[in-house]
Amino acid sequence: MWVIGHPKYQESKRIAIFLSMPDEVQTEEIIKDIFKQGKECFIPRYKPQSNHMDMLKLSSAEDISSLALTSWNILQPGDDDSTREEALAGGGLDLIFMPGLGFDKKGNRLGRGKGYYDTYLERCMKHPSGKPYTIALAFREQVCESVPVTENDVPVDEILYEDS
């Protein structure tokens, strides 16, 4: 598969990845491979009415079926789930796979407008392990000449296309 052979993926031990929505690159097979290779997998928990997001550890690919569906139709650990490790409370992250609505060739990313990933990356930069490598998973038709950005937007390190 296109992501699994990537050198950054191969060398990473602690990986954050989004649980895909129907209009996004599907991540289920990548998540299964993370566990197959003995890596640690973290998924987002978004806090509504804010731009705060945590990356919480999954114990297995099957663990996804125990997650609650939010009003945004996203599966994530419940607010009362305090047993999972938050990536930045432990060893940080090596790699974050990021979703997006649009991208440009400079690595700028158009998200859903809340700034969750940008804010999380700011927190990563303060962690002893530093900023993880970031890869956006995209369809070719999502890449355009430019996307609107603000000074708070953090560009991605690399964009991978589903058919690359």
Domain-wise residue ranges, the chain = 3-161
pLDDT band at 64 (very low <50, low <70, confident <90, very high): very high
> Is residue 58 annotated as involved in ligand binding?
no
Quote the pLDDT of residue 70: 85
> Is residue 111 annotated as involved in ligand binding?
yes
> Is residue 45 annotated as involved in ligand binding?
no
Please state, as a whole number, how many other Cβ atoms lie within 10 Å of the Cβ of residue 123: 16
Does domain 3-161 correspond to CATH entry 3.40.50.10420?
A: yes
How far is residue 56's CA from residue 33's CA, in Å, rounded to a whole number? 18
> Is residue 19 annotated as involved in ligand binding?
yes
Closest C-alpha among 75, 2, 3 to residue 39: 3
Mean pLDDT (whole number) for 86-107: 94
Quote the pLDDT of residue 163: 66
> Is residue 14 annotated as involved in ligand binding?
no
Mean pLDDT (whole number) for 78-94: 91
pTM as predicted? 0.93
| 68/88: higher pLDDT | 88
